[in-house]
Structure 1
Amino acid sequence: MNNCPYAIWPGTLAGSGMPQLPMTGFRLDSGKSVKIPAVPGWSGRIWARTGCSFDEYGVGTCQTGDCGGRLECDGKGATPPVSLFEITMGNGNEKDYYDISIVDGYNLPLVAAPRGVYSPCNATGCASDLNMGCPKELQVVGGEGSREGQVVACKSACDAFGLDQYCCSGEFANPTMCRPSFYSKLFKRACPKAYSYAYDDGSSTFTCKAYEYDIVFCPYAGRTKRPGDLLPAPPVKTSLEKVTEMVSSPPVETSLEKVTEMVSSSNILSPFPVMILLLIVNLFF
C-alpha cells in the first residue's frame, strides 16, 4: 500500500539457486496492486524503482533502483542506493526470515507486514523519509521529470566513499572490526527496525510463519503532502498512519488481526498454504 504521488516500477530478484518470481519487473501506478505467488523455501528481495522510462521493447533507465536498463529485471539486481525487502521463506513448518535493508542506501520508505499462520508476527520497515535529511555528500538528485532537483535517494557511506570500514570489507569483514559508522547511525536512528550496516542483525532480522506479506511503499506520504499533490483519500488512511507509527517507534509487535486491519482495507485472508508475496501500491493522498 503506497502513498507515493508517482508511479513506481517494482523489481524482484531470487537468491542463488532459487527460481525467479513470475514477475521480475513491472510498472505500478498509484492505487494499483499486484499479488505474486512464491514457492515454499523461496528467498530473494523486492524493491521499487523510481523515475523510470522504457520504450516498447522494455529498454530504458530508472533514476533509482535500476536493474540493467530493462523493465523486466530477469535476474539483475538493483543499482544502489535502494531500499530492500529481503526474505527467506521456510519449508513446511519452518519459519520465514525477513527484513528491510538500507545497507545499500535508500530510495523510498517501505513497510513489510506479515500475516501469520499460527501467531502474531512483527511488522518492520523504514517509514521515515531519509531523503529529506540525507547528508549532502550522500544525496542523489533527480535530473529530469517531476522530481528534477529533488533528492531522490540517499547513498550508503560504502557507495559514496568506497572505504573498507564503511563497506565491511578487507580487514573490516567481520563483526568485531566492522562497527556502526556515523552515517549508519543516522539511518538507524531514523529507522530503528531496518538493517543499517552489514552486521546489524540483532535488531533488524525478524521471523514468522506467514502465508502472505503486505509491502507498503511510502506509508508516511499522507502527512507530507503538498497542495498540488492532493487527491481524494482512500478509506485506509488511518490504518496506514497506524502502521507508520508502529514501524517508526519500537516495539513493533502486533497481532495478526491488527496488522491485517492496518495494512489492508480488506479482511479477506487467503486459505491456501502456498506462500504469497503481496505488493500493494496505494493512491497518494
Structure 2
Amino acid sequence: MDHLHFSSTFVFLLLFFSFYSEVNPASFKIVNKCRHKIWPGLLSGANTPQLPTTGFLLNPGKSRTVTIPRSWSGRLWGRTLCGLDSTRKFVCLSADCGSGQIECSGSCAKPPATLAEFTLNGAGGLDFYDVSLVDGYNLPMLIVAKGGKGGNCSATGCLLDLNGACPSELRVARKDGGGVGCRSACEAFGDPQYCCSGAFGTPDVCRPSAYSLFFKRACPRSYSYAYDDTTSTYTCAGADYVIIFCPPPYTSQELFGERKDGATLPLVSKSMIYISSVHANGASVSGLLRVQLTVCAMALFLLWLRILRL
C-alpha cells in the first residue's frame, strides 16, 4: 500500500508540474535604452491568446514588463517619432502600425521595422525566437533569455544603428534628412528574387542578395532574408525574456559576442561597428562598400578597441 501511495503521489506531482509549466506565463521585460522615446507595439499571431496591451509609450531609461501566455506566438517592435497628426490620430514616422492610437489593436508594423518574433512552447516544448530584418530595420534590438533550459538560450539581435549606414537606395529619411529606417530590397524593388516569391519561392532558388548580406554582415544572428533560418532562429524552454531597444555599446571582446553561448555566429560584427561609428560622425561612405574595410580602416579599428580597453 505504501508503494502504491508513493506511486500515486509521484504521478500527481508529475502531472501537476507538467501542467504548471504549461500554464505558468512568461514575462517580457521591454527596456528602452535609446536616448529618445519609443512606442513598443505587439501583435499576436493567428489563433493565439491576445495580450493585455498591444502598444504603449516607453520613455528613455524606462522598462515595462508584459505577462505573456506560455502558448503565445507573435511579434514585437519599436515605433519612433510619434505624435498626433492634424486629425488627432496617433501616427509614427517609423514602424507605425496604422491603428491611429497608441495601442496597435491587431495591426502590424509598417516596414521598415526591426521585429522580435516568438513562438512559445512550440515543438518539443521549446520557445522559438528571433530578431528579423526581413521587413527592414529601424532600431537596434537585443533579446536575452533568462532562467530557461534546453535549446541553446543564446542572445540574439541587431545591436548596431544601421540607419546612417543604410545603402541610399534602401534609406528612409525624414524631411530634414535624418535616417529613420532601412528598407529591405523586397520592399524597395518588389523583385521576386529579393522577396523569395514566384519562381524564387523555395530555399534552393532564393539565395542571399548583396542587400541581405549588408544586414547579415552587420547583425550576424538576425534574419536577413526569408530563408535565413539556420543561423537566425534560437530556442529555449520555460524562459522569461528581456527585449532591449538600443542596447549600450559593447566595449570588450567578451561583450562583442565571442563568448561561447552555443551560437555559431558572433552577436556583433566588429567591422560594421567601426563603419557605423564613422558614418555617424559625418564621413561620406557610399552604398554597400561600407561593408568592406581597408587596411587603414582596420588599423584604426584596432586602435579604437585598444582605447576602449584603457
Q: Tell whether the structures are fold-level matches, with TM greater than 0.5.
A: yes
In the TM superposition, what is the alpha-carbon distance from 1:210 to its structure 2 partner?
3.2
Aligned pair partner of 1:25 in 50, 55, 59: 55
- 8 Å contact from structure 2 (residues 43, 104) kept in 1: yes
2:159 corresponds in structure 1 to 127
- 1:167-206 matches, cutoff 5 A: 167-206=195-234
2:83 corresponds in structure 1 to 53
In the TM superposition, what is the alpha-carbon distance from 1:116 to its structure 2 partner?
3.2
1:273 corresponds in structure 2 to none
The reply to whether residue 210 of structure 1 matches residue 238 of structure 2 is yes
Offset from partner CA, 1:68-99 (integer Å, 9 cap, x none) = 13211010010000000000000697010000
Please identify runs of 4+ aligned residues in structure 1 that moved more than 6 A: none
In the TM superposition, what is the alpha-carbon distance from 1:34 to its structure 2 partner?
0.8
The 3 A distance-change label for structure 1 pair 162 and 250 is: farther
- 1:73-222 matches, cutoff 5 A: 73-90=104-121, 94-118=125-149, 121-143=153-175, 148-220=176-248
- 8 Å contact from structure 1 (residues 40, 91) kept in 2: no
Q: Distance in 1 between matches of 2:34 and 2:142?
A: 13
* Larger helix share, 1 or 2: 2
- 8 Å contact from structure 1 (residues 83, 102) kept in 2: yes
The 3 A distance-change label for structure 1 pair 190 and 242 is: same
Aligned pair partner of 1:245 in 248, 251, 256: 256
Fraction of identical pairs, as percent:
49
In the TM superposition, what is the alpha-carbon distance from 1:244 to its structure 2 partner?
5.6
Offset from partner CA, 1:207-256 (integer Å, 9 cap, x none) = 10133100011114x57xxxxxxxxxxxxxx8xx788622xx585449xx
Amino acid paired to 2:157: G
Aligned pair partner of 1:42 in 34, 59, 72: 72
Q: Which has the larger radius of gyration?
A: 2
Q: Distance in 2 between matches of 1:20 and 1:96?
A: 18
- 8 Å contact from structure 1 (residues 192, 250) kept in 2: no
Amino acid paired to 1:131: N
Q: Distance in 2 between matches of 1:195 and 1:251?
A: 21
Q: Distance in 2 between matches of 1:86 and 1:58?
A: 31
In the TM superposition, what is the alpha-carbon distance from 1:121 to its structure 2 partner?
1.7
After TM superposition, the structure 1 stretch with the greater mean CA deviation from structure 2, 62-71 or 158-167, is 62-71
Aligned pair partner of 1:12 in 26, 29, 42: 42
Q: Distance in 2 between matches of 1:59 and 1:244?
A: 41
Q: How high is the TM-score relative to the length of structure 2?
A: 0.69
Higher relative contact order (CA 8 A, sep 6+): 1
Q: C-alpha root-mean-square deviation of aligned residues, in Å?
A: 2.4
2:33 corresponds in structure 1 to 3
Give the match's secondary structure for 2:117. Answer: strand
Give the match's secondary structure for 2:166. Answer: coil
1:274 corresponds in structure 2 to none
The 3 A distance-change label for structure 1 pair 32 and 196 is: same
Q: Distance in 1 between matches of 2:47 and 2:261?
A: 32
Amino acid paired to 1:140: V
The 3 A distance-change label for structure 1 pair 92 and 155 is: closer
The 3 A distance-change label for structure 1 pair 250 and 161 is: farther
- 8 Å contact from structure 2 (residues 33, 62) kept in 1: no
After TM superposition, the structure 1 stretch with the greater mean CA deviation from structure 2, 112-121 or 11-20, is 112-121
Amino acid paired to 2:159: A
Q: How many residues align?
A: 230
